Structure 1
Amino acid sequence: MKKKWNHLRKVSLSIAAVVGLSTVLAACSGGTKESATDTKDSSTGKQAQTIRLVAANHPWTEAIKPLLPEFEKETGIKVKVDSYFEDQLSQKTSVEFAANAKSIDVVMFRPLQDGKQFEKNGYFSSLNEYVSKEKGSTDDFVPSALGSVKKGDNLYGFPVVTESTVLYYRKDILDKAGLQPPTTLDELKEQAKQLSDPDNGLYGFVARGKRSPAVTQFSSFLYSHGADFMKDGKATLNTPEAMEAFAYYGGMLKNYGPPGTLNMSWPEAMAVFTQGKAVFYTDASALYTNATDPSKSSVADKVGFAPFPAGPGGNHVAAPPAWAIGIGANSEQKDAAWEFVKWATSKDIVLALQKTGITGALTSVWDSPEGTEKFPKDLTEAIVTNNKYGIPYDRPAIVNVGAARDAIGDVINAAIEGKDVEAAAKKANQTFQEILDKE
């Protein structure tokens, strides 16, 4: 084991330069297809077993590739990796799965964007039988991350990349004002109001305001107000708690945010913060290098991180996996595929990947000094705290999530514009309920 770990340590150092976490872990770019052919095992002369991993062009994929020879050496199973743009991946896997193709052994997927549809269509093989034979194989996963790849008692994937909503803030501005990072939403509002100075180009708060992209980050505000998108199949966007959350989020951006918020997804909101024009910013933890990299951020040495503040409903924050891996339902090599899934999500491998900046899904790795040395200390503490209160979804956990996000985004936009939140929430709730009824 010591020899193996030394090998992984060397590999993790070499892949750190390749991974490149300058972009959000939850987003992908580029499109490559990597092929491999079966070869004979040099020790036995027999044809080696090969499985196919269909994955996203993503830092996790790039980080796992240099480790594959170790897996092949341990198991005798070779891995062929085909990687694609994020949208290409969804299209490619959908077409192959729908055709009942046997060619996908392991698939990388977005639990909250594609996972529900794939699970509903029967594209995944259940992992329950494998997990039941290996007691404790799921015990180390962050609960909210594991919860996103389950339907009832059926486990159909293992999370590999996680994120949660954290509070980014300007340490220098808070220090000068004699303030500590806010721990409640009330404190966040008070400090944003106190520190906002728009006449001098400084705004108290910035976050996503664009219709659909805003939903995932608004979700934590919704949960912390004691509300949710739905309950028992019924839309709940018009409950008093939900409307209070919409009003709070919209009010923060309307009163203390920069101009143009309605057009801001994460790149635009992050740019406001990294240009030194905002005191507070809430968004995904996976984006942190954009704020701390001096080549991208004018305030890189002034950025602090804190857990998502508690609201009237307590401590609740969206902490889902951005990516997971599962086994194709029609794979003829399910046992070999399971060996890869088990290996890729083992503590040794997750630790090696996390040492390069990949935000994994194992509690023990987040609790270890080795697993967190890549990250700012206060960011690690924020993530670990968030994991304790994590909700396994940052958007409605349904199949037709795109239409649902649009409906919810309409209410967010209405609140930012100072329009009638109650009327917008009632209208959106009706639209959302129609979506749920169709499912």
Structure 2
Amino acid sequence: MAAVVGISAVLSACSGGSNEEKANTGDNSTGKEPQTIRLVAANHPWTEAIKPLLPDFEKETGIKVQVDSYFEDQLSQKTSVEFAANAKSIDAVLFRPLQDGKQFEKNGYFASLNDYVTKEGGSTDDFIPSALGSVKNGDNLYGLPVVTESTVLYYRKDILEEAGLQPPKTLDELKEQAAKLSDPKNGLYGFVARGKRSPAVTQFSSFLYAHGADFMKDGKATLNTPEAIQAFEYYGGLLKNYGPPGTLNMSWPEAMAVFTQGKAVFYTDASALYTNATDATKSGVADKVGFAPFPAGPSGNKVATPPAWAIAIGANSEKKDAAWKFVKWATSKEIVLDLQANGITGALTSVWESPEGVAHFPEDLSAAIVENNKHGVPYDRPAIINVGEARDAIGDVINAAIEGKDVKAAASKSNTAFQNILDKE
């Protein structure tokens, strides 16, 4: 490595013209190797789908993209270490807006995209508003979303048809149908969803919003408002009264397994998980699964539609212009269309509204996602730095509701704990 670094330094000194200038233009007129930018990414379907397209980008711009990918937790650790050391080695980076984004932005790890977007004019107009909102801090845009999710209602088409029912459009209807169709004696439950303390929070969030509540407002915790308590009681009540045994230990794999084994009528979770329910090699009810938008609550249609992944430019990169060319290309309609054809749920409105963009997905699923996007909330957990601690506090109330305990008392205790987290930030 030392030898390579030394040789690189010599070549750089002798090459003529600044590295920044050449990287930014992608100029390869001298016949030397193309400029190279480094993308640090996750071992994710988006990364695998973009790799075969990179030769087209290089041909178009003269810029090569070196991809270093890691498992999610490794990615967070790797990028944190490099950024904290003020390394110039990260030109573009894939990140989780709701897990790492706020911390990284606060620490100054990301370059602002405002000037680039302003020069381009309208370059962000096509993004789903809720997805774009998750990569902003006030007026500062520090990333662009590349993978989105949406909380949808999975349901058994055959069971509803036999009962003469249509998919529920409201939470009241969901509760009524879950009660009517639940048959525990024969191993069929009306509803299943995440019940495990922390994992449950992201899917509970849509129930919270639909009840007119939120996790916080103006820096103040709001877990104990009447609307929030009503949401906790509703979600916990569904799982307590119509859910399967062991709900408190269920994250998405366990809840999905109950549904795909034919043991539940309704299931709410992320749209990105749909192939687990529709793939006959994974699901015993693959040909019986339907999808619907998240039901409206007392406060109307409000649903979590967060971006799972976004892309940013490293603040210390010496190749920011070249990195921007890549970011702009990777989030263009042409590329997003290509990626979405491979099952990557993108963040562009026009792609979701085009026949090509939804051809890969079940028709009712794409319709549910499009409808959800109209009423989207850009986060499915508190948009704070210490999100892990916050999820634990919120999860305590969810668990209390599932167990039939005093929800109001649990919400009051957790609200105090959550406020302490906010005060520390």
For Structure 1 versus Structure 2, the TM-score category normalised by the shorter chain is over 0.9
Tell me, yes or no, if structure 1 residue 188 matches structure 2 residue 174: yes
What residue identity is the alignment partner of 1:62? E
Pick from 402, 409, 412 the counterpart of residue 426 of structure 1: 412
Distance 1:386 1:375 in 2: 15
Pick from 288, 298, 320 the counterpart of residue 334 of structure 1: 320
Partner of residue 164, structure 2: 178
Partner of residue 284, structure 2: 298
Distance 1:217 1:317 in 2: 10
Distance 2:373 2:354 in 1: 15
What residue identity is the alignment partner of 2:347? A
Pick from 219, 227, 234 the counterpart of residue 233 of structure 1: 219
Q: In the TM superposition, what is the alpha-carbon distance from 1:42 to its structure 2 partner?
A: 8.1
Partner of residue 114, structure 1: 100
Distance 1:321 1:284 in 2: 11
Pick from 119, 125, 128 the counterpart of residue 142 of structure 1: 128
Partner of residue 51, structure 2: 65
Question: 1:96-124: per-residue Cα shift (whole Å, max 9, x none)?
Answer: 00000000000000000000100010000
Partner of residue 152, structure 1: 138
Distance 1:121 1:419 in 2: 40
Partner of residue 128, structure 1: 114
Cα RMSD (Å): 1.4
Q: In the TM superposition, what is the alpha-carbon distance from 1:79 to its structure 2 partner?
A: 0.4
Tell me, yes or no, if structure 1 residue 104 matches structure 2 residue 61: no
Conserved? CA contact 2:27–2:35, under 8 Å: no
Distance 1:134 1:80 in 2: 25
Partner of residue 393, structure 2: 407
Q: In the TM superposition, what is the alpha-carbon distance from 1:45 to its structure 2 partner?
A: 1.2
- Say which one has the larger Rg: 2
What residue identity is the alignment partner of 1:269? A
Pick from 245, 249, 254 the counterpart of residue 268 of structure 1: 254
Tell me, yes or no, if structure 1 residue 253 matches structure 2 residue 239: yes
What residue identity is the alignment partner of 1:178? G
Tell me, yes or no, if structure 1 residue 393 matches structure 2 residue 383: no
Q: How many positions carry a matched residue from both structures?
A: 403
Conserved? CA contact 1:41–1:47, under 8 Å: no
Distance 1:310 1:188 in 2: 10
Tell me, yes or no, if structure 1 residue 51 matches structure 2 residue 34: no
**What percentage of aligned pairs have identical amino acids?**
85
Going from structure 1 to structure 2, the CA distance change for 1:316 and 1:42 (only over 3 Å counts) comes to closer
What residue identity is the alignment partner of 1:199? K
Question: 1:198-222: per-residue Cα shift (whole Å, max 9, x none)?
Answer: 0000000000000000000000000
Conserved? CA contact 1:237–1:428, under 8 Å: yes
Pick from 286, 290, 299 the counterpart of residue 313 of structure 1: 299
* Unaligned 5+ runs, structure 1: 1-36
Partner of residue 283, structure 1: 269
Q: In the TM superposition, what is the alpha-carbon distance from 1:41 to its structure 2 partner?
A: 8.7
Distance 1:340 1:352 in 2: 16
Distance 2:239 2:260 in 1: 17
Tell me, yes or no, if structure 1 residue 89 matches structure 2 residue 62: no
Q: Secondary structure at the match of 2:365?
A: helix
Conserved? CA contact 1:107–1:326, under 8 Å: yes
Q: In the TM superposition, what is the alpha-carbon distance from 1:429 to its structure 2 partner?
A: 0.1
Distance 2:312 2:342 in 1: 23
When the two structures are superposed, what TM-score results if normalisation uses the length of structure 1? 0.91
Q: In the TM superposition, what is the alpha-carbon distance from 1:44 to its structure 2 partner?
A: 4.0
Distance 2:28 2:246 in 1: 62
What residue identity is the alignment partner of 2:47? T
Conserved? CA contact 2:209–2:303, under 8 Å: yes
Q: In the TM superposition, what is the alpha-carbon distance from 1:47 to its structure 2 partner?
A: 3.3
What residue identity is the alignment partner of 1:216? T
What residue identity is the alignment partner of 2:60? E
Distance 1:367 1:62 in 2: 24
Partner of residue 65, structure 2: 79
Conserved? CA contact 1:318–1:394, under 8 Å: yes
* Unaligned 5+ runs, structure 2: 1-7, 12-25
Distance 1:102 1:125 in 2: 12
Q: In the TM superposition, what is the alpha-carbon distance from 1:43 to its structure 2 partner?
A: 6.6
Distance 1:181 1:136 in 2: 38
After the TM superposition, which segments of 4 or more aligned residues of structure 1 sit over 2 Å from their partners? 40-44
When the two structures are superposed, what TM-score results if normalisation uses the length of structure 2? 0.94
What residue identity is the alignment partner of 1:293? D
Partner of residue 212, structure 1: 198
What residue identity is the alignment partner of 1:422? K
Distance 1:365 1:315 in 2: 22
Distance 2:27 2:99 in 1: 39
